[in-house]
């Protein structure tokens, strides 16, 4: 388990110090027990992570070519979290609540790439019918409870889904109601009220929810250690008597293992878990961000911890897949992403006569 490490001295000065602290924390976690997987699971994890990366790269291409507009926040570098958490859960049974960096969460939840891409193009065929755009992906069919433009918005929604699951089981006597909700959010969100209020309620009522902190150490341009008095977010769980874990968010198998433990507790009625995933985004905060605040040394350090390359090496070394097989998967994913773009470009625009549809009650 990856639950306990020695606390490090709090740093509040220069960015390089904060970078080293974050790096040291992830280094201290190396060697922890990863999830055990077979060939099928391993290939599915690789497919999902590769789809997320190639999809986001294509979004950047479309944005810079002037084909995609608005705010677009990419997930490059953090794929191990989405794949590790959602891949360990049950699609169309469990629930997922995202942030404004929601494309890859949607893909991991099973929303077709063409529907996600269509939404980014503002088309009627999008998963939110072209009304949501990049930050507001939603799919009832795939139990995706939405992306949210403001930090912390999704946590109370996720809490409601978890409460619904428990209420159906205990009050309505539906023994099949054992769904668990995953609430994703960043390190910056852990300094606002919804975070603390929802952790308190979740633990008080023993709700089946996993709070997943994607700590990429930058809240837009604010370094994590400059914004919080306790930089190790997972420790905040103890204030509510809740289990908290710190894991390597660049290792999909470590994320999967921690999620499986949290799921076991949640489905057994033991309540919530707070999981802090130490990770790093490879691109700027959004595609409009010139990304000048982070040092090149820092970015180079984290690029060497690419979670997809790590999984690829693990699969090949363990004999679960060959390098040639994985290259075929990459080509297949590229074809899927290109087809999603073609589909989105040719898809119809929302009908202007339906401007207020999905807004007012019918």
Closest by CA position to 78, among listed 281, 219, 313 = 281
Max CA pair span of the chain: 60
Write out 40-101 in H/E/C secondary structure.
Answer: HHHHHHHHHHHHHHHHHHHHHHHHHCCCCCCCCCCCCCCHHHHHHHHCCCCCCCCEEECCCC
List of long-range contacts for 320-324, beta carbons under 8 Å, 24+ apart: 320/37, 320/38, 320/39, 320/42, 320/43, 321/39, 321/42, 321/43, 321/46
Rg (CA), the chain: 20
Q: Is 183 left (phi over 0), alpha (psi -120 to 50) or beta?
A: beta
Q: How far apart are CA 299 and CA 47, in angstroms?
A: 25
Q: Which residues are within 8 A (CB) of 279 and not within 5 positions of it... i.e. 6 or more apart? A: 77, 78, 80, 81, 214, 215, 216, 249, 250
The domains located in the chain, with CATH, are 36-188+205-342 (3.40.50.970)
Are 87 and 113 in contact, with CB atoms under 8 Å apart? no
pLDDT one digit per residue (tens) for the chain, 362 residues: 444 333 333 333 344 556 667 777 777 775 456 789 999 999 999 999 999 999 999 999 999 999 999 999 999 999 999 999 999 999 999 999 999 999 999 999 999 999 999 999 999 999 999 999 999 999 999 999 999 999 999 999 999 999 999 999 999 999 999 999 999 999 999 999 999 999 999 999 999 999 999 999 999 999 999 999 999 999 999 999 999 999 999 999 999 999 999 999 999 999 999 999 999 999 999 999 999 999 999 999 999 999 999 999 999 999 999 999 999 999 999 999 999 999 999 999 999 999 888 888 87
- Residue 23 CB coordination number (10 Å): 17
Q: How far apart are CA 282 and CA 352, in angstroms?
A: 38
- Residue 4 CB coordination number (10 Å): 10
Place of tokens 């946590």: 155
pLDDT at 8: 37
Cα separation values, 219 from 128, 141, 160, Å: 27, 31, 26
pLDDT at 274: 98
Q: How far apart are CA 109 and CA 94, in angstroms?
A: 10
DSSP classification of residue 250:
T
pLDDT at 29: 73
pLDDT at 16: 54
Q: How far apart are CA 333 and CA 326, in angstroms?
A: 11
Are 295 and 212 in contact, with CB atoms under 8 Å apart? no
pLDDT at 35: 84
């Amino acid at each position: 388990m990856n639950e306990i490490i020695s606390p490090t001295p709090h740093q509040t000065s220069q960015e390089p110090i904060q970078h080293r602290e974050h790096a040291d924390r992830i280094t201290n976690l190396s060697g922890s027990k990863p999830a055990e997987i077979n060939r099928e699971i391993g290939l599915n994890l690789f497919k999902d992570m590769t789809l997320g990366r190639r999809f986001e790269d294509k979004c950047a291409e479309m944005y810079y070519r002037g084909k995609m507009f608005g705010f677009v926040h990419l997930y490059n570098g953090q794929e191990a979290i989405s794949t590790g958490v959602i891949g360990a859960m049950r699609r169309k049974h469990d629930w997922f609540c995202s942030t404004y960096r929601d494309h890859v969460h949607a893909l991991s939840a099973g929303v077709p790439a063409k529907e996600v891409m269509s939404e980014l193009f503002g088309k009627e065929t999008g998963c939110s019918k072209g009304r949501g755009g990049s930050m507001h992906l939603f799919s009832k069919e795939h139990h995706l409870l939405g992306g949210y433009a403001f930090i912390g918005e999704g946590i109370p929604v996720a809490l409601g889904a978890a409460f619904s699951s428990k209420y159906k089981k205990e009050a309505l006597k539906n023994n099949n109601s054992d769904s668990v909700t995953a609430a994703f959010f960043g390190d910056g969100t852990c300094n606002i009220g919804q975070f603390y209020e929802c952790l308190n309620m979740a633990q008080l009522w023993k709700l089946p929810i996993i709070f997943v902190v994607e700590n990429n150490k930058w809240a837009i341009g604010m370094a994590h250690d400059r914004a919080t008095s306790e930089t190790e977010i997972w420790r905040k769980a103890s204030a509510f008597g809740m289990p908290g874990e710190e894991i390597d968010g660049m290792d999909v198998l470590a994320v999967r293992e921690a999620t499986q433990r949290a799921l076991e507790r949640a489905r057994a009625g033991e309540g919530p878990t707070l999981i802090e995933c130490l990770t790093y985004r490879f691109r700027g905060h959004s595609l409009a961000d010139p990304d000048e605040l982070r040092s090149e040394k820092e970015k180079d350090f984290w690029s060497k911890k690419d979670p997809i390359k790590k999984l690829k090496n693990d699969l090949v070394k363990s004999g679960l897949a060959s390098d040639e097989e994985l290259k075929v998967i990459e080509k297949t994913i590229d074809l899927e992403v290109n087809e999603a773009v073609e589909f989105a470009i040719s898809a119809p625009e929302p009908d202007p006569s339906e401007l207020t549809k999905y807004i007012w009650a019918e």
